[in-house]
Structures are given as C-alpha cells and as structure tokens.
Chains A and B, each alone.
Chain A
C-alpha cells in the first residue's frame, strides 16, 4: 500500500494541526499549573436550563428532531434575534439549528464557496476559519488587524484585498483572541466597502452577549446588509453551554436552503436534549446572561488592571473573555515567553501565534476563571517578569 500521505485527502493532509497541541501536552503533564488558557466559560449551565434538558430525557424525547431543529426552538431563536439585535428571521425558512457555532460556520462556508473563491479572514482570529475555507475549496485571504486600529479590520486594508474572486468576508466579532468589538460606525464603514460588490458576509457572533460597553450590533442590522449576511451563533458562550454543542445559523432563505442541505446530509439534526434545554435558555435565560456578563466584566477590569500594573501592555478588551497582551518587549518571541512562564512559574497562557502569524509578540490570557485564580496567576506572572 502507498504511504497514507499519498492515499488521503490532499487538502486534509495539508492542513496544519493546531499548533498549540504540543503546548497543551506539556501542560497536561505538569503539576501545580495555574492555567489561563481555557476558551470556555467557567460557569456551569444554569440549573433551570439543565433541568429542561433532564426533563426532556425523562419525557422520553430521545428521537431525532426535524433536520432544521425543533420548530419551537427556531421560533425562540427568531424572537431572541428580534428582541436582542432587532433582526427578523423567518423560523421556517431562514434558521437552521446546528451542532455548535462551529458547524454553523462550516456549513455556511461550504454553502457559499466555489473552488478558488477567496474568503477574507481578519487575523488574529479563532483557529477554525482558515481550515474550514480550505476544506471547502476556498482560498483564505488574511486581513491583518493591528493595535493602532484597535484590532478592527481597517476599511482601506479590506478594500485592497478585494478581487473579482472575493466571495466572502468573515467577521468574527466580538473577537477571540483580541476582545475587539465592532460598533455601528465600524460596521457602517465595512458596509460601505462592500456596497456595490457581490461579497457575502459570514458574521460569527458567538460572543455577541459578552460585550462590556455598548451592546453588540450585528452587521446584518446595518441598512442594506441583511441580504448578504449569514449569522453564525450559538448557546456556548452566552449561556455557558459549551458541552451541549448547540448553535444556529440565520441567513436569507436562498442561502439558508443550501446551508440546510449540507446540515441535513452531514449531521441530520442537532442533539435533541440540547435543543430542549436551549428553548429554556432563550425564553428564561436573560438574567443568567446578565449575571455572567457582570462577573466577566469585573474580572476583565481586575485582570487588565493587574497586568498593566505588572508592566504588560494590554489591549483593552470590549468583548469575549480574553485579554490580548503584548509580551514582545522582553527579547523573546511569544512562544518562548509562554513556555518559560509555564516551566519556570507554572502559569499557562496561549502564545499569540496560535491565532495566526500576526499574533507574534502577543499572548491570549483568558479570564474565564475565578478572581482568586486570576490573583494567584498574576502574582506568579509578576514574579516571572521581575526575573526578566
């Protein structure tokens, strides 16, 4: 038999494994490590939401749901989108319930990409977009965001990247890892760039409920943008439901029809138990969101203040639960900084390069941890910095 590398999908073989894997393997083997690496809430799913899942199991609701997801859940999603973001989507034809926001992103990219289509991705960003675009036959075009622009995609930089082959712009805001958000003004400027083109937008709004100043605004609510927008979102971050693997994608009917087919053939339907729990979350979970957002906000202020006092230049995050911290001023690259911090002082943070080459000089620090945990980590980081 030929070597596997010749037998297997060239696209899959060519994908880079997540660069951070080795780092986490080291972390797993060490004792007494204070980790600030996690990309998920530390809250447990609120009990009333868990109960809704439990009750659905007790009631024997263990079958597949409709492919698109329970109609009652899609109706709840439609009401939620209207209530929180002033967006109207038809639950019958414009909403698909997916296995997490990740499947929503994957299905959306596959629904719009033809081989060779270019997809603009602002970087640094969450790790999945580039591989998903490649798997769909698309060509990722990276749009670097920089500190001077507050890690927001600059309209002039965007314009320069647009070619006749540009199919899609991915907008992952509030952003993991930088914590940057886009306000109405930023969105309007991006909309102006897209005006007169046929470029679609995939807006990954999984952190939409976690903004700490103004409320999140969706690009789909900018006048004239709805028809070209696909919104991927989910329950993981807003309701601390990462393990339930439930998300959704909202898009105009024609686009939704294609997403739906991909979802139908690849996935069948999202987990039934999670769908029942999600209805409870959407209908009765607004207070939970407020409680968790308040807690993240206090930790955010605490950790940003702590890092700055230690002399680390830190970008002020307005969303998500990460701090994007400049660690490039100590004569070593991000990975070495993070490796030494881990080995010498037992604190794990994620090197910025895990989120793209342009993350060099930075590290992502998660504050999805208790204040006590953050305090201990800051003490150790302080000790590390004092040795440099």
Chain B
C-alpha cells in the first residue's frame, strides 16, 4: 500500500486523479488515502527541492557532531528536543558510533553558524563536545542530484 507514498515522494505535484490513473485505482479512494496519510502524520508536508546555489541567496550549511551526556529517565530525547527547536537546525539525528547527535544547520554566513555553535549549542548543559564541518558543495540531497540538468541525448531515429 506504499505505492501512493512512493509516487508522491518522487513527485508531490501529482494530483489524486493522476495517481489514481497511474495505479489503476479510483480517484476518490486515492484522495481519502492521501487525507488519511496527512491526518496520521505519515505525510508531513509538501515542498519544492530548491538549489539555492543557483540563486543569489547567501547561505552555508554545517554538519555538527555532538557528544552528550544522556539524562536519566529521558535518555537523549530531552536534549535533542532543546536542540531541534532552534529554527537554524535543519536536521537532527541520533547516531550510533563515535558521537551521539548529528546536526545539520544552515546559516547566512560561517560567522552566523560559528555564533550558533559557540553561543547556543556548545554551552548547553549535557553537551560534552561539538565538531563542526562546513559543507563545501552539495552534490546530492534527498535523492536529488544538484547542479545537473539532464538533457535528452537519445537518438530518436531508431524506431
């Protein structure tokens, strides 16, 4: 039953009617499935994949490794919540391995990111250490290759 989600994940602009045709279902059934996905929080939102490098917007992305002390009772969740509530934080993951939280943040300048790490993240109680890596170039994100616009170079005279 994930076929609707699979389709929408690759193209959120598809209408319920189009999806119904492609999957051989009734439009009404697809619409109500989508509504259910939305109300159940399976589908959390819809948005465009933007390559900001092609615009004049200035921004930097940093990948921060965070080591923390887990709290009794709530483990890592309490601190994770305190961190992800900052709007600068684009993604936050609990990791296995050499550190605990992987945090991806975006800022307008390196200075802004440095300020966030130094003033907000590092001083937090239970944060043991941070290591900040700046992204130099985004090649692929969420399955989308950035920078490349594919041209159809197929020979069309083979019928």
Contacts and interface: CB of A to CB of B under 8 A. Distances in A.
Interface stretch (A19-27, A143-151, A166-174, A186-194): A19-27
Given A24-B156, A40-B158, 18 more contacts: A18-B157, A20-B157, A20-B159, A24-B157, A35-B152, A38-B154, A38-B156, A40-B155, A126-B159, A127-B159, A298-B7, A298-B23, A299-B22, A305-B21, A350-B159, A354-B159, A364-B159, A371-B18
B152 A42 contact: yes
Interface in B73-128: none
Given A298-B7, A371-B14, A27 B22 contact: no
A177 B158 CA distance: 12
Contacts of A24: 156-157
B11 interface: yes
Contacts of B152: 35, 38, 42
A301 B159 contact: no
Interface string B15-48: 0001001111000000000000000000000000
Nearest to A21: B157
Contacts of A42: 152, 154
B157 A35 contact: no
Contact of B159 (A27, A39, A298): A39
A373 B21 CA distance: 16
Contacts of B155: 40
Contacts of A305: 21
A35 B156 contact: yes
Contact of B156 (A37, A301, A302): A37
Contacts of B24: 301
B11 A371 contact: yes
A371 B152 CA distance: 14
Bin the interface of chain B by size: 10 to 19
A27 B154 CA distance: 14
Nearest to B157: A24
A190 to B, nearest CB: 26
Contacts of A127: 159
Interface in A300-329: 301-302, 305-306
A339 B101 CA distance: 61
A27 B156 contact: yes
Interface string A355-388: 1000000001000000110000000000000000
A350 B156 CA distance: 10
Interface in A35-66: 35, 37-40, 42
A27 B156 CA distance: 10
A38 B152 CA distance: 10
Nearest to A364: B159
B26 to A, nearest CB: 13
A237 to B, nearest CB: 12
Contacts of B23: 298, 301
Interface in B123-158: 152, 154-158
Nearest to B11: A371
A125 to B, nearest CB: 11
B159 A37 contact: yes
A177 B11 CA distance: 29
A302 B23 CA distance: 9
A364 B14 CA distance: 26
A60 to B, nearest CB: 29
17 contacts: A18-B157, A20-B157, A24-B156, A24-B157, A37-B156, A38-B152, A38-B156, A39-B158, A42-B152, A127-B159, A298-B7, A298-B23, A299-B22, A301-B21, A301-B24, A302-B18, A350-B159
